[in-house]
Every structure is written in structure tokens, then in C-alpha cells.
Structure 1
Amino acid sequence: MDKFIETINWCSLRDIGFVGPRFTWLYRKSDGSQIRERLDGALVTSDWLNRFPSAKLFHLSSSASDHSPLSLRLVPKPRSRMAGKLFRFESMWLKEPRCAEIVQEAWGEGLREASSDVLGKCLESGDRNTRFFHAKASARYSKNLISGLMDAREVWQEEDSKVEEIVVDYYQTLFTSSNPSDFVELLQAVNPR
């Protein structure tokens, strides 16, 4: 297993994660107990992930096999809420000698685009870590992006209004009181100081 992990790292591969049940393999023992594992997945390179940033691997259900079939969806889903990219300051820009001057000019002229000049300088100077940091930032963005959620009926929903409805319902249920009236058991569990 160590050689396999070493090879994955040497090839700079990463698991793209999954949507659906956690396990892809089920073994039923003769005593009725079960062994469940995630044996199946997808490893990709950073370049592949840049080409297919919205790719999702789905674990599907199967009654015909002890392995879950996998479905890889590559079609990008347009996000209606992303009007524009947020500006994020990169601390590596501080290495650029003209950074303070460029920032002052940008503030004076009201030009947000000037920030890209600092980034351009860093890229021109051949910063070896730029590609690594970009891959990390892209992976973090993909990881944090909610492209869909499972609803109460276990149906995957991707439509923005449906996802919003699932989140609102979840938190309304979570923070709705059941109006308990008998607090005796609860109060007995509290130790006075």
C-alpha cells in the first residue's frame, strides 16, 4: 500500500471525492454482519481538474452487485450567482519591490485592475510555487463549492432554488423547538458548582 500511495504522490494525483453513499463495496458475512469499504474512486491530475472543474463522481446504488457503479459527470453547470470573481490579496505580491507604489496608485486612481500588475510581475519573475499555489487554490474552491445536495427523499438536487430550499429546511428543523415540557431528566444531568 505504501508503494501505491508513493506512486499517487509521485504522479501528483488527487482523489476528486464523490457524491452519494460513502461505501462502494459491501460484503455480507454468513453471521449476518457486513463489511463496507470505499474501494472505488477516481484519481486525477491538476491539469485534468482545471479542464473539468465541475466534474463530479457519483456513487450509485446496485442490487445486482456487491460493488456500487460509478458515474463521472463532466458537463459544467453554469452558476447563476457568480456575477464576478472576488479580489483576493496574495501575500507573495509583497515580494515585488514596487508593490507599495502600485497599491498607492490603485487607491489614488480607484483602479482595482492595478492589482493584477503585481501578480503579473510575480508570474514574470518565474516564481516556481505559483503553479502549486494555483492548484491548491483551485482545489480549495472546488472543495468548497456546493453544486448540489441530497433532499429528504434522497434525490440529488442541483437547481439553486432547490439547494437553497434544502438548506433552509435543514436549519429551520434544526433550530425549531419541539416545545419540551418535562425538564426533570435534563436538570438531573446538570451538576451544580
Structure 2
Amino acid sequence: MERFRSVLDAFNLGDLRYRGSKYTWSNKRSSPDFIKARLDRALVNPGWCSRHPDVLVEVLAARSSDHKPLWIQFSARHKAKQGPRTFKYKACWNLDSECKEVVQAEWMKGTAGMSALGATMAKLDWCKQALYSKNPNNLEETQEVQEEIDHLLEMEDVQ
């Protein structure tokens, strides 16, 4: 650790601002042997911070690891430059048997005259539209669940 700290000092590296739970690791044991710590960090130098003043790290909920993932969050100003948000299949859709049928039906649609890439992109778009139209409140529900997770993580930090 002493060598690691000397590298941090030599390159003037420090923690990026964070939000959410400050703890990134736990031993997942029950009391009184329960331990949590802030082990995982995003390190930057002052020059990087001055060029990116609105950036911070969000500590997300861990799903299967004893380490919580870190998400580097840029400001809305940076997000606007990224373009449209890409579609991501949600794992919760695996629990709904109708979703499998929806995806299969959309994937079987004809794509004559399209390139392989064009056909794949079209099929993904059709799947996205069909899945979101099946449950138009999905995005709102996902945001509500994430807010509840964040609330629980904050309560965990108080204990």
C-alpha cells in the first residue's frame, strides 16, 4: 500500500466526487461480522477535474458481487453530445413469457433487400418498439425501482 500511495502522490491522483453509497465492498456476512468499506475508487488528477468539472462517480447496487460497480456520470451538457440512447434488452423481460414471443415474432419479419447490418438494426428496432409498447411504463418503473434501491443504499450507509 505504501508504494501505491507513493504513485498516487507522484501523479497527484485523488478521488473523483461520488454520490450514492460511499461503500463499494462488503463481506456479505451477518452482524456482528459484517464489514463494509470504500475500496473501489475512480482516480483523477486536478487537470482532468478542471476540464471535466461536472463529472462524478455513482456507486451502484451490486447484483452478484461483493464489490459495487462504479458509474462515471457526466453532466447533461456532455450527455447531449452522445446522441440517442442505445437500446438494451432488460433482464427482467426474461421473466415474462410473452416477451420471448414478442421478440421471436419481430425477429422473423422479412428484411429482403437489406444488408446484413441493416436487417439486424431493423430487427433490433422492431423488438425495441414492440417490447416498449407491450409495457409503456417500463422506463418509469425502472426509474422508480432505481430510486428505491438508491434510498435503501443510503439507509444502509446510515447504519
TM-score, length-scaled by structure 2? 0.45
Higher relative CO (Cα under 8 Å, sequence separation at least 6) belongs to 2
Instruction: Look at both structures and tell me which one has the larger radius of gyration over its CA atoms.
Output: 1
